[in-house]
Amino acid sequence: MDKDQLTKLDQQLAQEEQNILQQLGEVATLNPSVKGDFEPTMPNYEGNDEDERINEATDFDRNLAQEQQLENRLKEIRNVREKITAGTYGTCSNCRNEIPENRLKAMPTASLCIACAQQNI
């Protein structure tokens, strides 16, 4: 990828990063003990009847699943942005060969070339 393409990709990833942080703010809070980690929020509905406790547990499970998915995506994005900054984006993290541009366009967070990715299956 040329410099303009990398700049555009970085800008797109920066926007996605902000969107993910906003979404995380709706289902989680920052973990003060671990930098960059989030903890799902526990809904607190008024009342103590069984239906409300079931709804709280269900909503917590949904928050947990969303938090994990969003946090994983955020880590992928930040990793790619670090590689762009370091000038190592597009290099396979296993064999150090160049990842084909078509693969990067289809999956910008790819860290393995196709051959290495197939070996990890």
Whether 102 and 80 share a structural domain: no
pTM of the model: 0.84
Same domain assignment for residues 34 and 85:
yes
Asked if residue 71 and residue 21 are part of one domain, the reply reads yes
Q: Kindly state whether residues 105 and 48 are assigned to the same domain.
A: no
Tokens standing for residue 109: 């967070």
Asked if 7 and 56 sit in the same domain, the reply is yes
Instruction: Tell whether 95 and 81 lie within a shared domain.
Output: no
Q: What is the distance between the alpha carbons of residues 115 and 95, in angstroms, rounded to a whole number?
A: 9
Angle between helices 3-27 and 50-86 (to 10 degrees): 160
Share of the chain above pLDDT 90, in %: 79
> According to DSSP H, which parts of 1-121 are helical?
3-27, 50-86, 101-106, 114-119
Same domain, 56 and 72: yes
**Mean pLDDT, rounded, of the chain:** 92
Domain of 107 in residue numbering reads as 91-121
The number of domains in the chain is 2
Whether residues 15 and 37 fall in one domain: yes
